[in-house]
Amino acid sequence: MKKYHVAILGATGAVGMQMLEVLLERDFPLASLHLLASKRSAGKVITMKGQSFTVAEATENSFDGIDIVLGAAENDIAKRFIPHAVRAGAVVIDNSSAYRLDESVPLIIPEVNPEAVHEHQGIIANPNCATIIALVALQPLHAKAKIKRMVVSTYQAVSGAGVNGLKELDDQIDALKNNEPVTINTFQHQIAYNLIPQIGGFDEAGYSSEEMKMQNEGRKILNLPELQVNCTCVRVPVYRSHSESIMVEFEQPLSVEAAKELIQNGNGVKLVDDPYNSVYPMPLDTSDQDLVYVGRIREDLSGHANALSLWCCGDQVRKGAATNAVQIAQLLIEQSAE
């Protein structure tokens, strides 16, 4: 089997570290693995699964001889370095939002639109985590009845804001426990014992940037330019795994039992649906693994034809980011072997 020279750009962040772990878990055929980060992280040694890797500073010349770059950096870093990686001959799978809506860049969820991998011109974009979780949950149903409209509420874990989000929740809980004032740096308000209905800035219509990703990215991934999505994104004091409440209207009728059977046999999903025995998806159960759990599937009661409601949960650091990127890299390998 051919082996590949791989680099992780932004390797010391939460997603970059998870990419490293997933590559090793999946026995990715590595000829070499290069961890790239900022100058202040250069020289740091990361040990994972019995292997040690030394972090190097990312520079414009870091991509010579690299076959695949997994991008886990912020937008400004992605825009700075990715063009250099492409010019050096690498294929970049980028987790930032910098290229997601670029018409020349495929936006891929392997369970949903793997065929789009053939369209890349050096860059492939990884979708937003909440979009990935929703569309993986819905893909088996969409393949049968075709999605027409979605109303979504997301309940997003603090780790979606990176290590600073986790630290802020911990620090605030400790402060409140000791009757001390809380410090607010990462989120707009206190997140401990609270919900914040804002992720990103708001547009003129009152929708946040995170909310618009579900529609804009969903339209591109599903190739449905008229897809209607109304989304509300909420930050919740949960460490890991995003949860989503989804009302989905289809073009064709789809019964609850048929939907359950489709999810049961779907790719990347797990049916967890026995509400009368208190069995349904929850963040604690979906953390540290790659399936999207789907449950509470029921008929919509608001009068819309061919509509169902469901609840899903998925680990946004793994399937919502790192694992999805590694799966795309595996698609690239399969393509090159054809």
Q: Helices 14-25 & 323-337, crossing angle to 10 degrees? A: 50
Instruction: Name 124's bridge partners.
Output: 93
Residue 23, CA distances (Å) to 18, 26, 70, 328 in order: 9, 5, 10, 12
Active site residue 312: no
Chain-centre distance of CA 108, in angstroms? 11
Q: What are phi and psi of 261, to 5 degrees?
A: -65, -40
Ordered by where they begin, the domains of the chain are: 4-126+321-337 (3.40.50.720), 131-316 (3.30.360.10)
Within 10 A of 15 (CB to CB), how many other CB atoms are there? Answer: 27
Asked if residues 30 and 54 have their Cβ atoms less than 8 Å apart, the reply is no
What confidence score (pLDDT) does residue 338 get?
A: 63
Q: How far apart are CA 168 and CA 158, in angstroms?
A: 9
Residue 40, CA distances (Å) to 8, 9, 253, 264 in order: 16, 14, 56, 47
Q: Residues 246, 157, 327, 227: is their CA dihedral positive or negative?
A: positive
Q: How far apart are CA 78 and CA 72, in angstroms?
A: 8
At residue 101, the 3 state secondary structure works out as coil
At residue 292, the 3 state secondary structure works out as strand
At residue 122, the 3 state secondary structure works out as coil
Strands 292-299 and 242-250: unpaired
Asked if residues 287 and 274 have their Cβ atoms less than 8 Å apart, the reply is no
What confidence score (pLDDT) does residue 284 get?
A: 97
What confidence score (pLDDT) does residue 304 get?
A: 84
At residue 232, the 3 state secondary structure works out as strand
Which helix (H) or strand (E) segment holds residue 7: the answer is: strand 4-9
Which helix (H) or strand (E) segment holds residue 218: the answer is: helix 209-222
DSSP E strands in 236-323: the ranges are: 242-250, 269-271, 292-299, 307-314
Active site residue 231: no
Of 129, 231, 233, 312, the active-site residue reads: 129
Whether pTM exceeds 0.75: yes
Q: How far apart are CA 80 and CA 57, in angstroms?
A: 14
**Degrees (nearest 5) of the Cα angle 85, 320, 122?**
20
Mean pLDDT by 10 residues, the chain (338 residues): 95 95 96 96 93 96 98 96 98 97 97 96 97 98 97 97 94 98 97 98 97 97 96 98 98 97 98 98 98 98 92 98 98 83
Of 120, 242, 312, 313, the active-site residue reads: 242
* Structure tokens, 325: 């990127």
Q: How far apart are CA 153 and CA 136, in angstroms?
A: 16
Q: What are phi and psi of 6, to 5 degrees?
A: -120, 140
What confidence score (pLDDT) does residue 305 get?
A: 87
Q: How far apart are CA 67 and CA 25, in angstroms?
A: 20
